Amino acid sequence: MAPRDERPPSSAPRTPNVLVIEDDVDLCRMLADGLAAAGFDVHVACTAVAGLAEAREREPDVVLLDLTLPDLDGLSLLARLQGAERTASIPVVVVSDRADDATRSAALAAGARAFVAKPLDMGALLATLRPHLAARRADRPGPGWERAIAQGVSRLVHADLDAERVCRAVLDGAMEILSLAAATLWLVEGEWLVLRLQSAMYEPYVRAHPRIRLGEGLIGLVARDHRPLTVADVSTDLRVLNRAVFAGLGLRGFIAVPLLHDDRLLGVLSGARTTPGHFGDEDVQMLAALAEHAATVLAQVRLLGESERRRATAEALAALAAEVSAAHEPETVLDRVVAYVKQLVEAEIAYLEVLKPPEGQATILKLVGARGTRMARIAPAEGQGIDGWVMRHDRPFRTDDYLTEPRITHDFDDVVREEGVTAWAAVPLRARGRLVGVLGAVRRGPRPFTADDERMLVQLAAQTAVALDNAWLYREATRARAQWEATVDHLHEGLALVDGNRRILRINRTLASWVGRHPAELTGRVLDEVLDAYAGEEAHARLAEAQSGDGPRLATVEVPSLGRTLEETLAPVAQAAAGVQGLAVMLRDVTEARRMQEQLLRSEKLASLGEMLAGVAHELNNPLTGVLGFAQLLEAQVTDPAHREDLRKLAQEAMRAARIVQQLLRFARQHAPERRATDLNQLAAAAALAVEVEARAAGITVETDLTPDLPVSFLDPHQVQQAVVALVTNARQAMTAAGRTGRIRIATRQVAGSLELEVSDEGPGIPPNILPRIFDPFFTTKGPREGTGLGLSLCHSIVAAHGGEIWADGTPGAGATFHVRLPIMLPPGSADAAPRRPLARAAVPLRVLVADDEPAVRDLACDALAARGHQVEAVADGEAALRRLSEAPFDVLLVDIRMPGLDGRAAVERLRRPDGAGAPRRIVVMTGDSIRAETRRWIEATRLPVLDKPFTLDALAAAVEG
Ligand code: ADP
């Protein structure tokens, strides 16, 4: 017997099947030939028992029964056939050589459909048989399995073309028809058969065996050969892949049939029962018939699914196109794209990656569906993993199982494993002919991606690339525009673009801010309304002329409403595309520049004035030194108190004159401050003390409000104190002159990198009209004997020399406040100058050499020092000094810096050389203010004691005696 599992299925359309039960061999042969020739499938039985068995087995469409049989009479057999469920409905035609009516009636009464008498006429016999065949097919319920199939199929029909329900109907039908213990339904997906549905028993094994390759195992075999298969015992058959599973479930007999539609394999339906042994032909036929119907329905479902999917895809692509062209933000595009990928290719993870051009690495811009966070950070270089493959080959790629895929490198396997990924599809993203990234879809289940999925991804990628490119371009353009606007807005120049009717098309923030508006408020308005400078006929003409001209025009415009002077440039702008002739109006605020210019002019004037003053002061310096000195000397000698008093007044006047000269000189020369570590609070306190007595006499209190622990700054304490005293003095004078009493407040504080000092009073304040001029030299509102107009200008130059600022404010009628801001200076590299020594000390007789070309100074110094008991000699220049020093020993050299011939500096330098012979123990230099800054620096560097001219005798003595 041929192995039953190799038997071809008998699923072809059936030919009418006739069973002949007849003991006459010749007649049998004649009937068999004749019926076969007429297109019948004929089986023959020569005994009643054989006939009965054949009838049961084959369930023929019609039985031709001889009434005289060797083992049992025909009517008895007829009764048997009618009595058994399986054969009851088979039409039986009785053949008899007795043609009498009794025999005929008996046969018909027993259930025969027709009675035919021998000898047989083939034509008459066929004519008798046919209606019964037709009747059986048309009217009578078919045999059990056909009913079952019919039921299964009707289930399928009622399954509504819903894939899930169709599969369920097929599975349930199979279970019921064959009384199976377990059943599975597998569908073809690419190279795989993927388990689509299973009966409850198989449920626990779904995870372990979700898919099978074509050709593998029993299911794979059926799929490969397109033929049904039965196996007597799966728990021992070597072809079975998962024998243990079947054994574990106690499954033995196995059956599987292909789901074929138009010769195309859609899947495999399989079942098993717990008893061993082959399924019979009938079972195979039944399952095959069910499978055939199921395949037809599934094919329809698929077709429908595909067209549905195509429709959905087309819709999605259209929607994507609409959405992304409306969305200018790349972020939105990305969101939509990955959502569509996920939905359309039924992926669990979808992502979009872009290339970073220089390194060629890809970065994930958007990812959905990942469980962990690591996947989003994957950054494949060309050649790495699937995306790297796509980047290198610029072609789509898909794999059914990432982890075992041999064509790719496995740089990211740990992440892939962590995500439980199996199938993966990735396609290149190309924009303007260039690879810009990768679009990918990932699944975790057994289902691989198909060629259709890939096509869909390619379409999505094309759409996406365009959209993203647009979004990027748009973003670039927006950024560029924003950048440009920011630039234009941050210009110091005001900028407006107007059309031929002077209507504002664009205006920058600067210009808008001049009129206290936002650009948006001014766009569309007429320039005349915004700036009154453009209101008149003349301005209109100017604009019109500029617009018709071919180059920029410059002009200066006063805009009284803004209190500004503007420099205007008008440039015609041809906006060819818009067909508009426009005009660019550029306005530069030159108010400040003009003011600066004026100031510069003034300071130039001041500089030349200073030159002259310096000369005058210098000339006055020496005679004043003489007057002062001699007056003091005489005072010491004169005994008459009245004369002494006169001499004292003379000396006082001379001192006053000397101070004025000093001020003049400081103002004129504005020499560099002599900086040393200074506590501004101390200066402020000292200034307060200096004016306190006079102030109190006038009913004014001087208060200080000093911020403690101000940093020590390197300032010229004398200069700064002078400035503070000048400010406080002015305050006191202002209050006194206005007959007011009250407070003067000196405050200090630190502001960022500066020290600030404020002097405020409760005087009349400063009228606005004179406020701009108070720092001018010689500007005064006081009488000739009271004011010089130099106080504030000196303050100004001192503060300026310190790199600081001074300004005044206050409310007219309610006092003035002067603010001084001095940047905090750190110690210079050189050491601090030696501290001043106290004046006057007991005289130890010294040998002193005085070198000065001014006879008055020379004589004064000689007389004064001699009066203190010193031995004094004098010379008129540097050479004479050096000569005299080499001749005789001296303790002290008092030397003037500015002398004809060898000057003081040169002389001192020679003396301080290692070979400098006769150098005295102490050298004191005398300076007038007319020495150059460079010389002053030199003196500072030498650290020699300095005696400033004009000097008091005490200062002279202190300088010489040390
Ligand atoms: P002077 O004090 O010799 O007039 P200044 O340069 O010190 O010269 O001052 C110039 C002018 O500034 C003064 O004449 C006065 O009009 C004005 N001024 C200065 N300080 C004050 C003050 N505290 N209150 C009101 N006016 C002041």
* pLDDT per position as a tens digit, 81-125: 888 778 888 889 998 888 788 888 888 888 888 888 888 888 888
- Residue 724 alpha carbon to ligand 1 centre in Å: 13
Residue 874 in this model has a pLDDT that exceeds 90: yes
Tens digits of residue pLDDT in 707-723: 988 888 888 888 898 89
- Residue 730 alpha carbon to ligand 1 centre in Å: 6
Residue 217 in this model has a pLDDT that exceeds 70: yes
User: Which position has the higher pLDDT, 303 or 36?
Assistant: 36
Cα(62)–Cα(132) distance, integer angstroms: 8
816 CB less than 6 Å from ligand 1?
A: yes
Residue 23 is predicted with a pLDDT of 85
Residue 850 is predicted with a pLDDT of 94
Query: Count of alpha carbons within 13 Å of 211, Cβ hemisphere only?
Result: 19
660 CB less than 6 Å from ligand 1?
A: no
Residue 72 in this model has a pLDDT that exceeds 50: yes
Residue of 725, 719, 722 lying closest to 690 (CA atoms): 725
Residue with tokens 């001084």: 820
Query: To test ligand 1's pocket by mutation, which of 780, 790, 797 has the most ligand atoms within 8 angstroms of CB?
Result: 780
Burial of 503 (0-12, 13-18, 19+ CB in 10 A): middle
Tens digits of residue pLDDT in 856-870: 888 888 888 888 888
- Residue 716 alpha carbon to ligand 1 centre in Å: 23
Please compute the mean of the pLDDT values over residues 16-24 and round it to a whole number.
Answer: 87
349-356 β-sheet, strand order: 361-368, 349-356, 434-442, 424-431, 397-399
425-457 CB burial, b ≥16 within 10 A, e <16? bbbbbbbeeebbbbbbbbbeebbbbbeebbebb
Residue 34 in this model has a pLDDT that exceeds 60: yes
Query: Which one of 280-294, 409-423, 827-841 scores highest in mean pLDDT?
Result: 409-423
List, in order, residues 6 or more apart from 439 with CB less than 8 Å away: 337, 341, 351, 352, 353, 426, 427, 428, 429, 457, 460, 461, 464
797 CB less than 6 Å from ligand 1?
A: no
Query: Which one of 2-6, 305-309, 569-573, 837-841 scores highest in mean pLDDT?
Result: 569-573
774 CB less than 6 Å from ligand 1?
A: yes
Residue 553 in this model has a pLDDT that exceeds 80: no
| Conformation bin of residue 65: beta by default, left when phi > 0, alpha when psi is -120 to 50 | beta
Residue 317 is predicted with a pLDDT of 75
Determine which of 290-304, 316-330, 539-553, 806-820 has the lowest per-residue pLDDT on average.
316-330
The closest residue, in CA terms, to atom 13 on ligand 1 is 780
Confidence category of residue 3, pLDDT binned at 50, 70, 90: very low
> What's the 3-state SS for 522-533?
HCCCEHHHHCHH
First-to-final CA distance of the chain:
143
Residue type, position 780, single letter: T
Residue 671 in this model has a pLDDT that exceeds 60: no
Residue 449 in this model has a pLDDT that exceeds 60: yes
- Residue 764 alpha carbon to ligand 1 centre in Å: 11
Long-range contact set of residues 572-579: C-beta below 8 Å, sequence gap at least 24: 572/546, 572/547, 572/548, 573/497
Residue 146 is predicted with a pLDDT of 56
Atom of ligand 1 nearest to the CA of 727: 20
Residue 139 in this model has a pLDDT that exceeds 50: no
Query: Which one of 309-323, 730-744, 771-785, 813-827 scores highest in mean pLDDT?
Result: 730-744
Residue 440 is predicted with a pLDDT of 95
Residue 932 is predicted with a pLDDT of 66
Both tokens assigned to 195: 């388990």
Residue 713 is predicted with a pLDDT of 84
Cα(261)–Cα(291) distance, integer angstroms: 9
CA distances from 747 to 355, 700, 705, 755, 792 (A): 64, 16, 4, 11, 18
Report pTM.
0.41
Residue 408 in this model has a pLDDT that exceeds 90: yes
Q: Reduced to 3 DSSP states, what percent helix, strand and coil does the chain have, rounded to the nearest 5?
A: 45, 20, 30
Tens digits of residue pLDDT in 151-194: 555 555 555 567 788 788 888 888 888 888 899 999 888 788 88
Determine which of 17-31, 536-550, 559-573, 576-590 has the lowest per-residue pLDDT on average.
576-590
What is the separation of C-alpha 925 from the centre of its chain, rounded to a whole number of angstroms?
69
Query: To test ligand 1's pocket by mutation, which of 759, 760, 774 has the most ligand atoms within 8 angstroms of CB?
Result: 774
- Rounded to 5°, angle at Cα 408 from 403 and 413: 35
% of the chain beyond a pLDDT of 70: 88
Query: To test ligand 1's pocket by mutation, which of 606, 730, 797 has the most ligand atoms within 8 angstroms of CB?
Result: 730
- Residue 777 alpha carbon to ligand 1 centre in Å: 11
Residue 851 in this model has a pLDDT that exceeds 80: yes
User: Which position has the higher pLDDT, 533 or 252?
Assistant: 252
Residue 731 is predicted with a pLDDT of 94
Cα(422)–Cα(416) distance, integer angstroms: 8
Residue 159 is predicted with a pLDDT of 53
871-875 β-sheet, strand order: 871-875, 847-851, 892-896, 922-927, 946-948
DSSP letters, 561-607, are GGTEEEEEEEEEEEETTTTEEEEEEEEEE-HHHHHHHHHHHHHHHHH
114 CB less than 6 Å from ligand 1?
A: no
Asked if residues 596 and 585 have their Cβ atoms less than 8 Å apart, the reply is no
List, in order, residues 6 or more apart from 771 with CB less than 8 Å away: 808
766 CB less than 6 Å from ligand 1?
A: yes
Residue 145 is predicted with a pLDDT of 52
Q: 3-class DSSP state for residue 826?
A: coil
Residue 809 is predicted with a pLDDT of 87
- Residue 789 alpha carbon to ligand 1 centre in Å: 7
Please compute the mean of the pLDDT values over residues 434-459 and round it to a whole number.
Answer: 89
Please compute the mean of the pLDDT values over residues 526-544 and round it to a whole number.
Answer: 86
- Residue 702 alpha carbon to ligand 1 centre in Å: 18
Residue 161 is predicted with a pLDDT of 62
Residue 839 is predicted with a pLDDT of 33
Residue 5 in this model has a pLDDT that exceeds 50: no
781 CB less than 6 Å from ligand 1?
A: yes
Atom of ligand 1 nearest to the CA of 763: 24
Cα(254)–Cα(391) distance, integer angstroms: 48
455 CB less than 6 Å from ligand 1?
A: no
Residue of 334, 339, 336, 338 lying closest to 351 (CA atoms): 338
Tens digits of residue pLDDT in 589-629: 887 777 667 766 666 666 677 677 777 777 787 788 888 88
What values do phi and psi take at 727, rounded to 5? -65, -45
Cis peptide before 552 (omega within 30 of 0): no
787 CB less than 6 Å from ligand 1?
A: yes
Asked if residues 349 and 370 have their Cβ atoms less than 8 Å apart, the reply is yes
Residue 662 is predicted with a pLDDT of 74
Asked if residues 219 and 240 have their Cβ atoms less than 8 Å apart, the reply is no
808 CB less than 6 Å from ligand 1?
A: no
Confidence category of residue 873, pLDDT binned at 50, 70, 90: very high
Residue 290 in this model has a pLDDT that exceeds 80: yes
779 CB less than 6 Å from ligand 1?
A: yes
Residue 565 is predicted with a pLDDT of 79
- Residue 620 alpha carbon to ligand 1 centre in Å: 26
736 CB less than 6 Å from ligand 1?
A: no
- Rounded to 5°, angle at Cα 608 from 607 and 613: 95
What beta strand segments (E) does 13-140 contain? Answer: 17-21, 41-45, 62-66, 92-96, 114-117
Residue 893 is predicted with a pLDDT of 94
Residue 555 in this model has a pLDDT that exceeds 80: no
Residue type, position 807, single letter: W
780 CB less than 6 Å from ligand 1?
A: yes
Residue 357 is predicted with a pLDDT of 67
Residue 560 is predicted with a pLDDT of 66
Residue 727 is predicted with a pLDDT of 94
Residue 262 in this model has a pLDDT that exceeds 90: no
Residue 10 is predicted with a pLDDT of 42
793 CB less than 6 Å from ligand 1?
A: yes
Residue 670 is predicted with a pLDDT of 57
When the pLDDT of each residue in the chain is averaged and rounded to a whole number, the result is: 82
% of the chain beyond a pLDDT of 90: 19
Residue 569 in this model has a pLDDT that exceeds 80: yes
CA torsion angle for 124, 127, 132, 134 (degrees, to 10)? Answer: 170
- Residue 930 alpha carbon to ligand 1 centre in Å: 28
- Residue 606 alpha carbon to ligand 1 centre in Å: 19
User: Which position has the higher pLDDT, 955 or 377?
Assistant: 377
789 CB less than 6 Å from ligand 1?
A: yes
Determine which of 56-65, 127-136, 395-404, 823-832 has the lowest per-residue pLDDT on average.
823-832
- Residue 765 alpha carbon to ligand 1 centre in Å: 10
Residue 384 is predicted with a pLDDT of 92
The closest residue, in CA terms, to atom 7 on ligand 1 is 791
362 CB less than 6 Å from ligand 1?
A: no
Residue 803 is predicted with a pLDDT of 81
731 CB less than 6 Å from ligand 1?
A: yes
Residue 838 in this model has a pLDDT that exceeds 70: no
Please compute the mean of the pLDDT values over residues 265-281 and round it to a whole number.
Answer: 90
763 CB less than 6 Å from ligand 1?
A: yes
Residue 386 is predicted with a pLDDT of 94
Residue with tokens 């042994």: 277
- Residue 785 alpha carbon to ligand 1 centre in Å: 14
Both tokens assigned to 545: 């002329």
Residue 935 in this model has a pLDDT that exceeds 90: no
Determine which of 551-565, 621-635, 866-880 has the lowest per-residue pLDDT on average.
551-565
Cα(210)–Cα(236) distance, integer angstroms: 22
Residue 722 is predicted with a pLDDT of 85
Residue 133 is predicted with a pLDDT of 72
Determine which of 317-326, 512-521, 632-641, 821-830 has the lowest per-residue pLDDT on average.
821-830
**How many beta carbons lie within 10 A of that of residue 475, not counting itself?**
14
Cα(457)–Cα(200) distance, integer angstroms: 36
The closest residue, in CA terms, to atom 23 on ligand 1 is 731
Residue 489 is predicted with a pLDDT of 83
